[in-house]
Amino acid sequence: MEARSLPAALPLVAGGGAGLSPERRAALGASLPLLQRDYRFERVWFWGCIEGLRGTYYIAEGLGPNRAAPRSRLYSLNCLDWSLLTPATKEVLALAEQLKGRFQGDPSFEYNLAEINAEAAARLTESGKEPVMKEEARLIATIELIDRAVGIVPRGAFVKTPLGSVHENRHFEGLSLLEAKKLSSYFHFTEPVNLKNKTLLEKADLDPSTDFLDSLEHDIPRGSWSIQLEKGGTVVVLRSLLWLGLTFYHVPMTKQFGYVYFGTGEKNLDLPFML
């Protein structure tokens, strides 16, 4: 969610019991504008936090003019001092998916890859590297996996130009209440997969400037999203049952929307058996 709208947005996603203490809110209010200035980001989003056994990682994302371009991600242990994370490689993403258990809350903690993937550990050993993965690498990979799977935006909030760049839609005034209650009104804010498999007949009804992302209605497994009306029916809230802790909110007929994650960074692998 937008860093500047944090004070107003956090109460809208607090229905699940997650949130920040007044001290953490004050610290973020002071540090995020400085983060935007120092790194020269056009926008800063507060992504959320991943709770470890010995500490909590607070995550922020920096965006440039093209909103679809890879984002810069930073973490902090105290909401004041921020460290830039190196983008995760495909190999790190694959290894992070195999890791089980809670985060420790220590960026320098090392996981033994021999216990996770013997083949990957052997390759590292042959190249003269230690067969370990630092928690910092697991952190950035987990953020990327969550963003790809459940980072969402309302339909029409962003537009794609003929040159391929993505920008905020200045004419977006929010979804109607009727549309806001439909899964088809929300898109994954990442590189589309299902859209490429649609037939020409199916694409004929789509607007290429707004329908350039994958809709939530075809997510697998079915039923992995919970839609609720809160605050007296004035706020639509979507919660992911696949990545427990991800909450998205939208105030119909306004430009207010965003998502935040408060969780342990563990995927709910039991979801198919729960539905």
> Is 93 in the same domain as 197?
no
Same domain, 14 and 144: yes
Shared domain for 15 and 79, answered yes or no, is yes
State whether 57 and 34 are in the same domain: yes
Residues 223, 275: contact at Cβ < 8 Å?
yes
Residue 200 has pLDDT above 70, yes or no: no
Kindly state the tokens that stand for 265: 């960074």
Same domain (yes/no): 32, 144: yes
Q: How high is the pLDDT of residue 203?
A: 62
pLDDT in tens, 160-198: 988 888 999 998 999 999 999 999 999 999 888 776 666
> pLDDT at residue 83 above 90?
yes
Same domain, 139 and 49: yes
Residues 6+ apart with CB under 8 A from 36: 3, 43, 44, 62
Residue 120 belongs to a domain: no
> In this structure, are 141 and 166 located in the same domain?
no
Tell me the residue range of the domain where 55 lies. Answer: 3-107+135-149
Q: How many domains does the chain have?
A: 2
**Residues 92 and 186 reside in one and the same domain:** no
For residue 270, being part of any structural domain is answered with no
Judge if 145 and 187 occupy the same domain.
no
Higher-confidence residue of 195 and 64: namely 64
Q: Are residues 140 and 178 in the same domain?
A: no
Give the span between the Cα atoms of 121 and 132, in whole angstroms. 7
| Residues 242-263 pLDDT 10s | 999 999 999 999 999 999 999 9
230 plus 103 within the same structural domain: no
**By mean pLDDT, which of 136-145, 155-164, 200-209, 260-269 is the weakest?**
200-209
Percentage of the chain surpassing pLDDT 90? Answer: 57
Query: Model confidence at 63, in pLDDT bands (50, 70, 90)?
Result: very high
| Prediction pTM value | 0.90
